[in-house]
Structure 1
Amino acid sequence: MMLQVIAKLALTMPKRKVDSENRAFKNRWEAEYMFTDIAGKPVCLICGANVAVIKEFNLRRHYETKHQDNLKDLNTEQKIQKAEELKKNLTLQQMFFTRAKSQSEAAVKASFIVAEEIAKSARPFTEGEFLKSCMIKVFDVLCPDKKQMLANVSLSRNTIADRVCEMATDLRTQLSERSKDFIAYSLAVDESTDMTDTAQLAIFIRGVDSNLRVTEEIMDIKSMHGTTTGKDIFENVCQSITDMKLPWDKLIALTTDGAPSMCSEKSGLVGRMRVKMQEENCTGELTAYHCIIHQEALCGKVVKMDNVMSTVTQTVNFIRAKGLNHRQFQSFMREIDSEFADIPYHTEVRWLSRGKVLNRVFELSNEICQFIDSKGKDSTNFRDEKWKCELAFLADITAHQRLKPPAPGT
């Protein structure tokens, strides 16, 4: 009966907590047991082992079983000196590891910064090694004592690739977290073929939260190695929406180009997206925009100023197409101390360049007129005030469209 009472009392009594005893480390233990206090824990100065509980019995047992035989010939004063030596060595060792850790973190941060710049400039990942070799030579001249810090920064091709992937993953995670607060969002989808003839499907998102903060980002890029039908595009878009965990009932708009696989109401992306929203019991109506992302190209087709563009193209080609004319034009610009030394070349493939070409031709209209006259060519248009006004208007329009591209889904 007594044993049952004792057992019951043992179960009901609160457990003794070592932390509540407020044991403190005593300075005399340093010389007696070769221990010191680091961050509230006793650490052996000889082997670096730590003891969980600050208790003299534990320290004495560790010292007597592991280190007493090696220090038995030392008197009290010698043991104090030995303890001070060991403390200094331990402090230097801790400082070394702290400094090494700080330098390692700085080196990793520096590699991320370089990787970000390489990715933004669309340069090869091997550029990191070239940049590192250049910086080491600069450090040799300016601050040779800090060259080793730069040597610790890893900028190899594999490292740059890993850093870029980590940053891309982090950006995608941030976008996913921010999309949870969207009260509405729209998508813009465009499919194009790269230089390896692989179809690349780019999906852009524009969302707004309850604080009317607008987020515009590229949501995903899908490589399509097979067919690019409306069904294929729809499946890839659905997969991206699922991966981003976006609710279908908050999708309000979709922007596509004019291809049948995109805008067809039956088998195209737009039609399939509307069917999908009905299956998801979405009450809102999906608004489809056609070719808004190519507004500049449509604007160029609607604005009837072929007489201006054809004259500008013929004039620029006359100057740039032949090497002799081009060299003579550059010499002419230097002779008259012109602000500009040359005129940009126009190409139909990169049609946004026409804004730069038109602006330069307008600014150099008098100089071009003089050069054309010296070559015996007709310069009637460059002397016509009405034609020059149309040239100025077209230059302003194309420059405005180039500097301020429309946002997707607007």
Structure 2
Amino acid sequence: MMPRRKVDAENRAFKNRREVEYMFTDIAGKPVCLICGANVAVLKEFNLRRHYETKHLDNLKDLNAEQKLQKVEELKKKLTFQQTFFTRAKSQSEAAVKASFIVAEEIAKAGRPFTEGDFLKSCMVKVCDIICPDKKQMLANVSLSRNTVADRVCEMATDLRTQLRKRSKDFIAYSLAVEESTDMTDTAELAIFIRGVDSDLCVTEEILDIKPMHGTTTGKDIFENVCQSVTDMKLPWDKLISLTTDGAPAMCGEKSGLVGRMRELTTYHCIIHQEAVCGKVLKMDHVMSTVTQTVNFIQSRGLNHRQFQSFMRSIDSEFADIPYRTEVR
């Protein structure tokens, strides 16, 4: 038996005369009825004629050739307008969504509350009402509610994590930096940073994970959270070459701390926090005590603080106030 030919292999072409005869037109290689918008699966004259005679012949049988031609032109203009309208609406909708993501990103970068999206939108609408009132509706279509901004930020965070997971597959070596501190609600937050390099010597530095620790913060707890983050990212332990921590016993303890437990998995050498180490070795307490007394004097009274700020402005200082440094560990 001869194999059946596929429809695509027959190379059928739409003929312009069928527009007037059967009220069909060609859109992206598919025949579309100008009256009802129905599609015909196979481009055959029999299919077009059958659709026309069963659906629309009774309504158009009294029209002559010139009237049918005029009817075809009207329907084609109407169809073109509809297509343009929906394309324009789709383009505006995509632009509104993109603008919503951009504003949400800026809010997240600035660390502002998600509720400020509505405030920003209100300001932008008022500015647009004065500068370009014809574009006001387009700006009003940008969704910046609290829930929308939160969803946008979550989607961007998920996308960044997906990108990091893809990049990490090409790492030939990576290092970790771990820091534990408490937030304003007294919840311990474990921040884990990663720096990796691929075979092309392209370096990637990103935050790997942030783990809230609601219970204890022992070396075992920190170790388990770090292991979970590394496992979730599917990073091979044999490519870990260094680990950086602060000076807390739970971090740098040789037996029960994070450093001691990590040595069981890999070896590493820490090269960060050199300034803090040098400061302790040089024994500059006599300098730091003088600085501490000076800072306390400035901050003890409001007048002293205001006079200090005025002095900083008068000398065009880079800092408008005292740059603080707090020794956590």
Matches within 5 A, 1:166-205: 166-205=155-194
What is the CA-CA distance between 1:26 and the residue it aligns to? 1.3
* Residues 371-403 of structure 1 deviation map (CA, whole Å, 9 limit, x = unaligned): xxxxxxxxxxxxxxxxxxxxxxxxxxxxxxxxx
Q: 1:230 to 1:128 in 2, by over 3 A?
A: same
1:322 paired residue number: 301
Counterpart code for 1:216: E
Deviation at 1:73, TM superposition (A): 2.1
Does 1:113 pair with 2:102? Answer: yes
Instruction: Quote the residue 2:321 is aligned against.
Output: 344
Residue 130, structure 1, aligned to residue 119, structure 2? yes
Q: In structure 1, what residue type is equivalent to 2:252? A: C
What is the SS of the residue equivalent to 1:46?
coil
SS in 2 for 1:78: helix
Cα pair distance change 1:319/1:269, threshold 3 Å: closer
**Cα RMSD for the two superposed structures:** 2.5
1:322/1:190 CA distance change after superposition, 3 Å: closer
**Secondary structure of 1:43's partner?**
strand
What per-residue deviation string (whole Å, max 9, x for no partner) do you get for residues 76-132 of structure 1? 211111111110000000000111111111111111111111111100011111111
Residues 321, 263 of structure 1: alpha-carbon distance in 2 compared, 3 angstrom cutoff:
closer
Other structure's SS at 1:211 match: coil
Distance 1:237 1:330, change over 3 A: closer
Q: Identify the residue that residue 56 of structure 2 maps to in structure 1.
A: 67
Contact kept, 8 Å, 1:316 with 1:346, in 2: the verdict is no
Tell me what 2:146 maps to. Answer: 157
2:260 matches 1:271: yes
Distance 1:97 1:72 in 2: 32
Q: Is the counterpart of residue 286 in structure 1 residue 263 in structure 2? A: no
From 27, 43, 55, give the equivalent of 2:32.
43
8 A contact 2:312–2:320 mirrored in 1 = no
Letter matched to residue 154 of structure 1: S
Q: Please list, as runs of the form range in 1=range in 2, the aligned pairs for 1:302-381 lying within 5 A after superposition.
A: 302-326=281-305, 338-339=315-316, 344-345=321-322, 347=324, 349=326
Q: Residues 244 and 91 of structure 1: is their aligned pair in 2 closer, same or farther, counting only changes over 3 Å? A: same
- Does the 8 Å CA contact 1:200/1:222 hold for their aligned counterparts? yes
Equivalent residue in structure 2 for 1:27, among 13, 16, 26 = 16
SS in 2 for 1:190: strand
The answer to whether residue 57 in structure 2 is matched with residue 80 in structure 1 is no
Give 1:141 deviation, angstroms.
0.9
Residue 220 of structure 2 corresponds to residue 243 of structure 1: no
Asked if structure 1 preserves the Cα contact closer than 8 Å seen for 2:194 and 2:206, the reply is: yes
Could you give the per-residue CA deviations for residues 339-373 of structure 1, whole angstroms, max 9, x where no partner exists?
4699624656489xxxxxxxxxxxxxxxxxxxxxx
List runs of 5+ in structure 2 lacking aligned partners: none
Deviations 1:206-246 (A, max 9, x none): 11111122211111111111222222212111111111111
Q: 1:341 to 1:181 in 2, by over 3 A?
A: closer
Aligned residues: 328
Describe the shift of the 1:60–1:269 C-alpha distance in structure 2 as closer, same or farther (beyond 3 A).
same
Q: Secondary structure at the match of 1:227?
A: coil
- On the 8 A contact 1:184/1:207 being kept in 2, the answer is yes
Runs of 5+ unmatched residues, structure 1: 1-9, 278-284, 352-410
Letter in 2 for 1:287: Y
Task: Classify the secondary structure of the residue corresponding to 2:13.
Answer: coil
Structure 2 counterpart of 1:41, one-letter code: K
SS in structure 1 of the partner of residue 179 of structure 2: strand
Compute the displacement of 1:314 (Å). 3.8
**Residues 23 and 301 of structure 1: is their aligned pair in 2 closer, same or farther, counting only changes over 3 Å?**
same
CA distance in 2, matches of 1:274, 1:319: 46
Aligned equivalents of 1:288, 1:170: Cα separation in 2? 32
CA distance in 1, matches of 2:247, 2:309: 43
CA distance in 2, matches of 1:252, 1:338: 47
Matches of 1:257 and 1:143, distance apart in 2: 54
1:216 paired with 2:197, answer no
After superposing the two structures, state which structure 1 stretch, 161-170 or 337-346, moved more: 337-346
SS of the residue 1:74 aligns to: coil
Equivalent residue of 1:273, what SS? Answer: helix
Retained in 1: the 8 A contact 2:117–2:144?
yes
Does the 8 A contact of 2:22 with 2:49 survive in 1? yes
Which among 119, 132, 138 is matched to residue 143 of structure 1? 132
For 1:48, what is the secondary structure of its paired residue? coil
Deviates more, 1:340-349 or 1:210-219: 340-349
> Deviation at 1:190?
1.5
Distance between the aligned counterparts of 1:248 and 1:267, measured in 2?
A: 20
Which entry has the higher C-alpha Rg, 1 or 2? 1
Contact residue 34 and residue 83 of structure 1 kept, 8 A: yes
Shifted more, 342-351 versus 292-301: the winner is 342-351
What amino acid is the match of 2:300? A
